[in-house]
Structure 1
């Protein structure tokens, strides 16, 4: 151990290296699991964590505006158009 490096600095560096090795090992494990999970997706099995998608879009709703509401909306559009 060099004389100009404190014990705490060497301990900190050692812990940092150990944390990096552990993080790399976990990352490799997750990548391997993701690759093996991709085979199940290709075989046609649905993923259980995702909600089922709708086959059709929801219907559209429309509301008729009164003449006063139409005038108010037209005034709002005119005011916003000036900006």
Structure 2
């Protein structure tokens, strides 16, 4: 099968294949080992990228007519009428 390839090329290819397999196995083991620690660390950290949103509490006193109009609007929306 490898009649046209020299022995040194076959040895070099074998070394490269073994090195690649060792590297992939090591990478997979490292990623699996650190996955749990990273998840625990990430869950413990607050989200600094999202700013805290403070909404001031405002209230407005409605008149009786405004309350009736709002109640009518709510009834329209819950009944499904346009």
The TM tier, using the shorter chain, reads 0.3 to 0.5
Structure 1 or 2, whichever has the larger Rg, is 2
Length-normalised TM-score, structure 1:
0.46
More helix by percentage = 2
